[in-house]
Amino acid sequence: MKLQKQLSRKVGSTSYPKYVIVLPPKIVEEAKIKEGEELEIQVAGKKITISPKQK
């Protein structure tokens, strides 16, 4: 797994990047996350936790 930086858009001389994490299908299946599902992200120090958004 890697963190990827992609150019989102460029306005004049200012670039706006976005970051993407590619998850292997096995991880997505184990976490029971579906494509297009809203996710919540929590950051604690250097740890990032991603979970399905509570309804």
Q: Are 2 and 15 in contact (CB under 8 A)?
A: no
Alpha helices in the chain (DSSP H): 25-31
Summarize pLDDT for 20-49 with one digit per residue, the tens. 999 999 999 999 899 999 999 999 999 999
Residues in the chain: 55
pLDDT at 1: 83
Q: Which helix (H) or strand (E) holds 9?
A: strand 3-11
Q: Are 5 and 19 in contact (CB under 8 A)?
A: yes
